[in-house]
Homo-oligomer: A and B are copies of this chain.
């Protein structure tokens, strides 16, 4: 496969790993953008909005390169779970996910020759009832403070605690690679 170089506008090591394993050569380049959005915006549309905002500051770079930006949001009962502020917060977050379904939505913007292609992907994730021991063991050992919703599906708690997903696994990790792969190839060919 002859895949293009991608400039990834994200510091997430998981996004870099996914794009690399899918065969892209990845360079990370980030610029500060404020992660805010209009109060009136539907929550399900926030990740796409923020991905576009993160990509927008790379217009110049996109003349010769393909720029990819992404934003992931965890929605539980219609409310956003962000990144936990500390271990106690992480424990509270995972307790709130225990025994329930939540949604992971990732918005992706691909910017190429100053043209924006934006989409989002949603995966439903079902946690079984977790014990307090399982939750505190996980938080202490894996320190998931850099993760929205306070868990990584690819880590211990994802293996032993998630009974079912509906959608893309890699989307829950932070990047819907199957959809992005198709859009990138279409852009480079079109």
Contact = CB atoms under 8 A, between A and B. Distances in A.
A18 B158 CA distance: 12
Contact of A163 (B21, B153, B159, B179): B179
Given A23-B156, A137-B1, A156-B23, A128 B162 contact: no
A169 interface: yes
B159 A177 contact: yes
Contacts of A182: 128
A127 B18 CA distance: 18
Give the number of times this chain occurs in the complex, counting copies: 2
A184 B123 CA distance: 28
B162 A168 contact: yes
A35 B159 CA distance: 28
A167 interface: yes
A26 to B, nearest CB: 14
A163 B156 contact: no
Interface in A75-131: 128
Contacts of A1: 133-134, 137
20 contacts: A1-B134, A21-B156, A21-B159, A22-B156, A22-B159, A128-B182, A153-B169, A159-B170, A159-B177, A159-B178, A160-B177, A160-B178, A161-B178, A162-B168, A163-B168, A164-B167, A165-B166, A165-B167, A166-B166, A169-B169
Interface of A: 1, 18, 21-23, 128, 133-134, 137, 153, 156, 159-170, 177-179, 181-182
